[in-house]
């Protein structure tokens, strides 16, 4: 569901301003650790494709991070294939769809994984501190945490969206839909 193309130079700003928490968390972990495990690569990679990052840029993006810690040959051999695969350029040539909130919320990240939904998978303490880093008021943070306690993760995400953007959301059921709504809200 892409509207136009997104270039590599735009990614950090978009991640900061328009990615939902699940994707921000993956993106900035990748930037800091120069690695993501399989579940994270899939969740973030398909999302980035959905916002309009082209295959060549996607390969350059992942390669530039991963090769901080490994050779280009190793990257191309072990990781390049699955990126092209997600774009339908390998194997069965299916153009894979970015994950919905439901799929992400019901995933089961293990130790060392960064995929999943922060509202569902972070500890309360960790989630609270991430929300506070986003400059949300303590009243908003409390409202989000209450929705989380009631297991309304997507409502918690919508409340965060509304506080950050200062406008109502249409409800959140897909990270790419969060992104589109954010771009609309910020571009007016």
Residues that bind ligand SF4 (CB under 6 A): 20-22, 101, 104-105, 117-119, 153-154, 157, 172, 175, 178
In the complex with ligand SF4, the residue whose CB is nearer, 67 or 107, is: 107
In the complex with ligand SF4, the residue whose CB is nearer, 53 or 157, is: 157
String of b and e for 101-121 (b: at least 16 CB within 10 Å)? Answer: beebbebebeeebbbbbbbbb
Minimum CB separation of residue 86 from ligand SF4 in Å reads 18
Minimum CB separation of residue 98 from ligand SF4 in Å reads 11
Assign residue 167 a region (left: φ > 0; alpha: ψ between -120 and 50; beta: otherwise). beta
In the complex with ligand SF4, the residue whose CB is nearer, 79 or 164, is: 164
In the complex with ligand SF4, the residue whose CB is nearer, 6 or 127, is: 127
Other beta carbons within 10 Å of 15: 19
In the complex with ligand SF4, the residue whose CB is nearer, 49 or 66, is: 49
Minimum CB separation of residue 39 from ligand SF4 in Å reads 13
Distances (CA, A) of 177 to 74, 76, 100, 155: 34, 31, 9, 14
Please state, in angstroms and rounded to a whole number, the distance separating the CA atoms of residues 44 and 42. 6
In the complex with ligand SF4, the residue whose CB is nearer, 64 or 126, is: 126
33: three-class secondary structure by DSSP: helix
Minimum CB separation of residue 164 from ligand SF4 in Å reads 12
Minimum CB separation of residue 92 from ligand SF4 in Å reads 26
Minimum CB separation of residue 74 from ligand SF4 in Å reads 31
Half-sphere exposure for 40 (CA within 13 Å, toward CB): 24
Nearest to 62 by CA among 3, 51, 46, 50: 46
Rg (CA), the chain: 16
């Amino acid at each position: 569901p892409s509207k136009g193309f997104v270039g590599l130079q735009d990614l950090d700003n978009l991640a900061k301003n328009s990615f939902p928490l699940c994707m921000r968390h993956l993106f900035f972990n990748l930037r800091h650790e120069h690695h993501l495990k399989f579940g994270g690569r899939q969740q973030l990679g398909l999302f980035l494709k959905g916002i309009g990052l082209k295959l060549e840029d996607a390969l350059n993006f992942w390669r530039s991070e991963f090769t901080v810690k490994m050779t280009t040959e190793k990257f191309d051999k072990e990781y390049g294939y699955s990126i092209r695969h997600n774009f339908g350029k390998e194997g069965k040539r299916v153009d894979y769809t970015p994950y919905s909130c439901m799929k992400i919320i019901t995933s089961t990240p293990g130790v060392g994984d960064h995929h999943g939904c922060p509202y569902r998978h972070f500890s309360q303490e960790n989630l609270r501190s991430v929300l506070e880093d986003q400059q949300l008021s303590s009243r908003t943070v409390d409202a989000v945490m209450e929705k989380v306690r009631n297991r309304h993760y997507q409502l918690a995400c919508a409340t965060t969206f509304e506080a950050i953007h200062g406008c109502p959301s249409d409800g959140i059921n897909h990270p790419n839909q969060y992104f589109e709504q954010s771009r609309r809200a910020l571009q007016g």
